[in-house]
Chains A and B, each alone.
Chain A
Amino acid sequence: MINSSLAKKVLSAALKNGGEFGEIFLENTSSNHLLLMDSKIKTINNVVQRGAGIRVFANDRVFYASTSDLSEQGLLSCASMLSEAINSKKISFSIADKKTVLSLDNSYIYPNTVDTSKKIAILKNMANVACGRENIVQFIARYSDKTQNVCIINTEGKFIEDTRIYTRIFCNAVAEKNGLTQTAYAGPGASLGFEYFNNIDLESIVLNTTTLANNLLAAKPCPAGKMPVIIDNNFGGVIFHEACGHSLEASAVAYGKSEFAGKLGQQIASTCVTAVDDGGPEGLWGSIKIDDEGEETGKLVLIENGILKNYMIDKFHSKMMNMPATGSSRRQNYTYAPTSRMRNTYIAAGSDKFEDMVSSMGEGLYAKSLGGGSVNPETGEFNFNVSEGYIVKNGKIQDLVRGASLIGKGSDILMKIDMVSDCLAQDPGMCGSSSGSVPVTVGQPCIRVSEIVVGGEA
């Protein structure tokens, strides 16, 4: 993508008027998206993204510029434009002569080498499973893959290239009866190639999705009020992601804009809570070998037995916080400056049994699946949509309900987790923040919260 000599020229231009750190992020991404509707292939879309982002730290500020012109002239022009805004002390630097290239082993099948007909076959098989299912009036299946090649060069001697691949399937089922419409959704994915489909049970995913959409037609609105809630594993982990994870990112903590700022070493959660952000596990949707600053990723314990142990920190904020970067710097693409973000975040497994959690609960809500949510890191106020929830009465799971949401404050909820099961599971999602939308995994075992406000019908 770029050689050492050109990188030196570009960074010299960017640092012409000073700066303590300079970086070039180059990207070459291709993605492929197929949409099936009414059992027919409706659209196929190929997308190409090629460009560069140049970043300088100076005077406690980030200066950032991006361009899609990857010619020498284009890169130099972008760097010069950036430097015009800077007036700072100059540094001397050298660029590594040799680039480190990280590679995937031969077990990965790059999606951009797979014939379109094979991708279509996957969607058609899903449509065949959905066909004729009770009350299903529309079934939409989407296939998406992305191959992202990145190269990072900085004035600290980093010169590294990596290729990331992503494969994902989505299905939406629309059920209709007597004028009432309900929907259900599933979206499994992994940081793997086309071989991902050898190990995934798409038939079960389609059956579960169509069944849920149909069952929701008969579901009553969720009753509203404060009650105990069991949140299931897999995508249930979005509660930790939103309610606490964002508040542990340096982009909030460094400015005191987090309810957990200045609380390292303090108890911020119930003693049964240990929480981790791990960029490393191979194949997980949020895994990256290096972050978008070229730093190695790894396992970061955020909370251990309720005590706050670490924040997720990127290079810029590490200087502000005087703490080391944690391989947590991410961006959607070259048009965004990177910042601290989550990767694969989860609450570690506990020792409780799911059956015991339900039977000792009395009355409340079992949130089997959450549909997404958001948080204000400054106040910790969060909200989640429950996409599949069941009323619990007398310690037994009973009727499916619809329209439930959960609201509260992260720090309160962490202290109110009273049981954690032994069955950790994770699910993929997309996380949006100031550096764009990035793939993350959320996860947890089943957790029980002693009291939470459930939004529903009064």
Chain B
Amino acid sequence: MNIRDMINNIISKIKEMGYSALLNISTSNSASLVYNNAKLSKSSINNDVKLNIKAINDKGRAIEVSADNLSQETIEFLLKSIDENLKYIENEDVNILYMGKEKQLSKELSLNEGELSVLKEKIENIHDYILQKDSRIKSVTGSSVSMNSYSSYIANTEGMEKSVSKNIYTAYLGLFVQDNKDEIVLYDFCYSSKLEDLDIEFIADRISKKALDMLYGKSIASGNYKCIIQNDIMCELLHKYSGIFSSENAQNGLSQFKDSEGKPVASKVVNLIDDSLNVEDIFKKEFDDEGHPCQRTELIKDGMLNTLLYNLKTSHKIGKKSTGNAYELGSSVKYNYMYFQPGKKSLQELIECCEEVLLINEVEALHSGANEVSGDFSLPAKGFLYKNGKLVQAVKGITISGNYYDLLKRVEEFANDTYVSHYSLASASCLLSSMSIAGDN
């Protein structure tokens, strides 16, 4: 049975049970090669499938079940558990379905068997290339290449049926750089929707330069510093705190932006936009996880919070329209492709306009050192200290601390060096009026 037939079969059964429903079946076929110290150590092939069902009763209450196995036995078990457990849901939010009846089915993509050999050759050539760059580059400690063909089908009991299919190629590099006085390990990766566009040499150059520049780093005195957060780190922070723009979180008291629409929340140079329609193919998204069309949404305009992001349930709750940001069958809300509007100066010009400035180009521990609800963060960091536009020293052994809500208000200027992150968001480097740094006493 093909996936469309399977979805229609499940929809018929759920209708017979007296429920409306939204379904998703995603498939992922992937292959990867993993290297340790430039020696191939693991080859993997994964063929995964995932079924998610959201069933809604006549009061609008919903329950979700999921499985990674499409056997008849599994599906019967899931349908039975819907019937048994939906009666226990007490949450009064009304779940609704997208009522459009569009059929928007994309062409299914697949992987070519020979492509893994091409990836293998590319990464193995890069191993030699990197090691010849500088004698202080001691090893490519870890590296990998992978290719993944992903398809996702969604349909609901109102007749909506949509699908999307993408191929993604990824390469990952970890370098160990050492001399007598210092050592450093850094990681980097690249990705592309086309094999020929996967530029491993570019990240090999980028990571090598960064690692060599960061050697001999030392701590700096604790204190408040004028600070530039590098573009990729801005993306990491935005990803970590993206939930503060979710109406679901706001309605549940988990975002401090709960009553902030129409109010200033950031410095006037901050403009934040969600738009997955006008981006490169790999991030393009035309409909959300409820089948609702995506749109361009200005979240922050000149420092003012215009709107949060909504799905059908959260928008219905306050009489608004969905912004097309349903995630995981609408059980939550998430950005599609979010970015800070860049400024006009280059990063170097931004550095040169400060008497003293700390450029942060590495942070760690976002999973444990940053609290999405309070906004507080305390994170180990690395970077470079500049005075009068000149590099003074590489910096390590410090932590940066503050609050993300407060950080948005301290933005003085964005550079023009927009970086596009694999998280489907983008930012330029950002000058902050101050950042608390813990280093030497």
Chain B residues within an 8 Å CB radius of A43: 63-64, 89, 91, 331
Known: A43-B331, A403-B401. A257 touches B141 (CB 8 A): yes
- Contact: A371 with B368, CB < 8 Å? yes
- Contact: B48 with A335, CB < 8 Å? yes
Cβ proximity bits B174-195 to A, threshold 8 Å, 1 near / 0 not = 0010000001110000000000
Instruction: Kindly specify which of B155-163, B203-211, B251-259, B319-327 makes contact with the partner chain.
Output: B251-259
Interface flag for B379 (CB, 8 Å): yes
CB distance from B108 to the nearest CB of A (A): 18
Chain B residues within an 8 Å CB radius of A68: 47-49, 68-70
Chain B residues within an 8 Å CB radius of A373: 365, 368
Interface flag for B441 (CB, 8 Å): yes
* Distance between Cα atoms of A81 and B36 in the complex (Å): 24
Instruction: Kindly specify which of B5-13, B37-45, B272-280, B295-303 makes contact with the partner chain.
Output: B37-45
Q: Which single residue of chain A is at the shortest CB-CB distance from B45?
A: A65
- Contact: A60 with B41, CB < 8 Å? yes
- Contact: A48 with B41, CB < 8 Å? no
Interface flag for B388 (CB, 8 Å): no
Known: A41-B89, A50-B74, A174-B373. A455 touches B69 (CB 8 A): no
* Distance between Cα atoms of A50 and B401 in the complex (Å): 43
Instruction: Kindly specify which of A284-292, A293-301, A374-382 makes contact with the partner chain.
Output: A374-382
Interface flag for A183 (CB, 8 Å): yes
Chain A residues within an 8 Å CB radius of B253: 137-138, 174, 176
Which of A69, A378, A403 is close to B141, meaning CB atoms less than 8 Å apart?
A: A378
- Contact: B378 with A41, CB < 8 Å? no
Interface flag for B212 (CB, 8 Å): no
Interface flag for B85 (CB, 8 Å): yes
CB distance from B311 to the nearest CB of A (A): 14
- Contact: B367 with A372, CB < 8 Å? yes
CB distance from A386 to the nearest CB of B (A): 8
Known: A61-B43, A378-B141, A405-B378. A183 touches B371 (CB 8 A): yes
Q: Which single residue of chain A is at the shortest CB-CB distance from B377?
A: A403
A:223-274 near B, CB below 8 Å: 224-226, 255-257
Which of B40, B365, B436 is close to A374, meaning CB atoms less than 8 Å apart?
A: B365
Chain A residues within an 8 Å CB radius of B85: 44, 46, 116
Which of B77, B91, B183, B365 is close to A42, meaning CB atoms less than 8 Å apart?
A: B91
Cβ proximity bits A381-411 to B, threshold 8 Å, 1 near / 0 not = 1011100000000000000001111010000
Q: Which single residue of chain B is at the shortest CB-CB distance from A53?
A: B46
CB distance from A180 to the nearest CB of B (A): 8
- Contact: A46 with B176, CB < 8 Å? no
B:64-80 near A, CB below 8 Å: 64-71, 74, 77-78
Chain A residues within an 8 Å CB radius of B40: 61
Interface flag for B16 (CB, 8 Å): no
Which of A62, A67, A383 is close to B47, meaning CB atoms less than 8 Å apart?
A: A67
Chain A residues within an 8 Å CB radius of B346: none
CB distance from B435 to the nearest CB of A (A): 9
Chain A residues within an 8 Å CB radius of B365: 372-374, 383-385, 405
CB distance from A183 to the nearest CB of B (A): 5
Which of B44, B49, B369, B371 is close to A65, meaning CB atoms less than 8 Å apart?
A: B44
A:187-240 near B, CB below 8 Å: 221-222, 224-226
- Contact: A48 with B68, CB < 8 Å? yes
Chain A residues within an 8 Å CB radius of B184: 379
Interface band, chain B:
35 or more
Which of B78, B142, B222 is close to A46, meaning CB atoms less than 8 Å apart?
A: B78
CB distance from A137 to the nearest CB of B (A): 5
Interface flag for B88 (CB, 8 Å): yes
- Contact: A335 with B42, CB < 8 Å? no
Chain A residues within an 8 Å CB radius of B37: 255-257
Q: At the interface, is chain A mostly helix, strand, loop or mixed? A: strand
Chain B residues within an 8 Å CB radius of A62: 41-43
CB distance from A45 to the nearest CB of B (A): 5
* Distance between Cα atoms of A439 and B69 in the complex (Å): 23
Interface flag for B397 (CB, 8 Å): yes
* Distance between Cα atoms of A458 and B435 in the complex (Å): 9
Cβ proximity bits A432-458 to B, threshold 8 Å, 1 near / 0 not = 000000000000000000000111111
Which of A255, A373, A383 has its CB near the most chain B CB atoms (within 10 A)? A383
Chain B residues within an 8 Å CB radius of A116: 84-85, 88
Chain B residues within an 8 Å CB radius of A44: 63, 85, 88-89
B:225-246 near A, CB below 8 Å: none
- Contact: A404 with B378, CB < 8 Å? yes
Interface flag for B197 (CB, 8 Å): no
Q: Which single residue of chain A is at the shortest CB-CB distance from B374?
A: A181
Chain A residues within an 8 Å CB radius of B441: 225-226
Chain A residues within an 8 Å CB radius of B398: 455
Chain B residues within an 8 Å CB radius of A415: none
- Contact: B69 with A48, CB < 8 Å? yes
Chain B residues within an 8 Å CB radius of A327: none
Chain A residues within an 8 Å CB radius of B349: none
Interface flag for B200 (CB, 8 Å): no
Interface flag for A70 (CB, 8 Å): yes
Cβ proximity bits A157-187 to B, threshold 8 Å, 1 near / 0 not = 0000000000000000010100001110000
Chain B residues within an 8 Å CB radius of A41: 88-91
- Contact: A51 with B69, CB < 8 Å? yes
CB distance from B273 to the nearest CB of A (A): 26
Interface flag for A49 (CB, 8 Å): yes
- Contact: A48 with B438, CB < 8 Å? no
Cβ proximity bits B393-413 to A, threshold 8 Å, 1 near / 0 not = 000011111000000000000
Cβ proximity bits B356-400 to A, threshold 8 Å, 1 near / 0 not = 000000001101110101111111100000000000000001111
Which of B44, B70, B368 is close to A385, meaning CB atoms less than 8 Å apart?
A: B368
Give A residues with C-beta under 8 Å from B.
30, 37-38, 40-51, 60-70, 78, 81-82, 85, 116-117, 120, 137-138, 174, 176, 181-183, 221-222, 224-226, 255-257, 335, 337, 371-374, 376, 378-379, 381, 383-385, 402-405, 407, 453-458
Task: Give the 3 A-B CB pairs with smallest separation, nearest first.
Answer: A455-B399, A224-B438, A372-B368
Known contacts A42-B91, A68-B47, A383-B369, then 5 further A-B pairs from the complex at CB < 8 Å, ordered by chain A residue: A138-B252, A174-B253, A221-B401, A255-B141, A374-B368
